[in-house]
Amino acid sequence: MVPSLTDFGFVALVPENGFRWMSQADLEVRSVKRTTTRHAFVMVDQEPSDLGALLVNPKPKSNTVRRSPCEDRALFQEFASLDATNVDSLLAFSNEHGMLGFGTPVYCELTRPADALRCSESRDPITGETVGYLQAETHADWTHAIAKMRVAVSVLRAINAPGQAGEEKELTKLFSWQSIDVDQRYPDDRPGHWMVDTHPSLPIPNIKEFNREATDRIWGYVTHDILSEFETIQTVSKVWIADEINRHLNGKASPKIKLEGGGRIREYLQCSTLLAAMWSQVYSAFTGGKRYEQCKGCGKWFEVSNERGGRTVRAMYCGDACRVRSYRARRDQAATLAGEGLSAKEIVERFQSEGHEADLATVKKWVKPSTKRKGK
């Protein structure tokens, strides 16, 4: 039985009082002097400026609230649109949906009781001594994850909108074929390889390392004769995004079956982290050819059904409530603009330039009362 991968399972536990950004100085701890081990990643004598901001639960033993972020099927789009430099927006996202799931363990000396240091008591996995312990995510973790998701969203949008010149142009910025001179093809005689370059349209941290790793992985597909210089840019982009999806879901998502009332079988994908859950949504969007829009009313991202043909009015709003609110707001704005002397045609052009759908007949109906009052 193959899961449809349109239903996802993930529950996040969010502290009742929320997470908090803290620095090493805020935590009043010193990192334990030792090297990195397979048991834990430990910072060695790092200054607060080196460590950067840590997203932590300020009270590890506090009550938690259960969240089900996967109920929002376009959450990955919202995540990709976050401003990584705005730590307040990242904090708001984590308080609503949970941590991403990096869970970097930080072991530190107990200079004061653990509760006072906002950490838990634990055993050092190496020495066995009692130490302070907390799980944290760095600002760099979030910045890099957002940047990667942003690249994926850009590629996904282009893949699911074939034939559109603007989207095709975005792909050519990311992927390009580089030929290799005949005398330099030793030892495997490859004529060239596809390169990945996210700069400058999609800059990300450690950009050289990211581009090199992505290029090397695509190079592997060239080696196995899956890709050549004659492949379309669409094919290359699909190879890249499929590889990224596999890497993000490996070991973090598994198909599950649940029996519900009446013996009905429910198939879903159980994810172990929030980041994996969002990449599962990318999986579903990629394999299902789904597209997404940002609501013109509230700004929330939402999935547009494949059954709906073309870009309709309904596809511009996440629901009827936003559509009605937007209608009333545009009606009132039209009356105001008419009162300022704008013609119905000029008002239509104004709305259309702002991305709103408007037709002359409707706007004339809206401004008619204003015209009468003006005439009186």
Give per-residue pLDDT as tens, 192-223.
667 788 766 656 666 777 777 787 777 666 55
Residue type, 276: A
Q: What share of the chain is helix, strand, coil (3-state, %, to 5)?
A: 45, 20, 40
Instruction: Provide the angle, in degrees to the nearest 10, between the axes of the packed helices 360-375 and 344-353.
Output: 130
Q: Which residues neighbour 350 within 8 Å (Cβ) at sequence distance 6 or greater?
A: 337, 342
DSSP structure string for 224-259: TTS--TTS-HHHHHHHHHHHHHHHHHTTTEEEEEEE
Least confident of 49-58, 64-73, 349-358: 49-58
Q: Tell me which residue has tokens 């009781």.
A: 113
pLDDT of residue 43: 39
| Token pair 């370059």: residue | 197
Instruction: List pLDDT tens digits, range 140-174.
Output: 889 889 988 998 998 888 887 766 655 677 788 88
3-state secondary structure of 86: coil
pLDDT, greater one: 158 or 61: 158
The pLDDT of residue 28 is 57
**Is the backbone peptide bond immediately before 205 cis, with ω within 30 degrees of 0?**
no
H or E stretch covering 13:
strand 12-15
Choice between 268 and 143, residue whose per-residue pLDDT is larger: 143
> H or E element: which one contains 108?
strand 104-108
Domain ranges of the chain: 8-140, 320-375
Tell me the pLDDT tens digit for each residue of 82-119: 998 898 999 999 999 999 998 777 777 777 777 776 67
Say which residues have a Cβ less than 8 Å from residue 259's Cβ, sequence separation at least 6.
265, 266
pLDDT band, very low/low/confident/very high, at 46 (cuts 50, 70, 90) = very low
Q: Please, what is the end-to-end C-alpha distance for the chain in angstroms?
A: 73
How much is the pLDDT for 40?
Answer: 39
- Average pLDDT, stretch 278-290? 89
- Tell me the C-alpha distance between 202 and 147, whole Å: 8
Asked whether residue 1 carries a pLDDT value surpassing 50, the answer given is: no
Predicted confidence band of residue 6 (pLDDT cuts 50, 70, 90): low
What local confidence, expressed as pLDDT, does residue 49 receive? 40
Band the pLDDT of 358: cuts 50, 70, 90: confident
pTM: 0.75
274 Cβ neighbours under 8 A, 6+ residues apart? 10, 12, 69, 97, 98, 99, 100, 101
The single-letter DSSP state of residue 72 is: S
3-state secondary structure 142-210: HHHHHHHHHHHHHHHHHHCCCCCHHHHHHHHHHEEEEECCHHHCCCCCCCEEEEECCCCCCCCCCHHHH
For 227-245, b/e burial (b = at least 16 CB within 10 A) is beeebebbbbbbbbbeebb
* High-pLDDT (> 90) share of the chain, %: 12
Choose the weakest-confidence range: 10-19, 25-34, 124-133, 200-209.
25-34
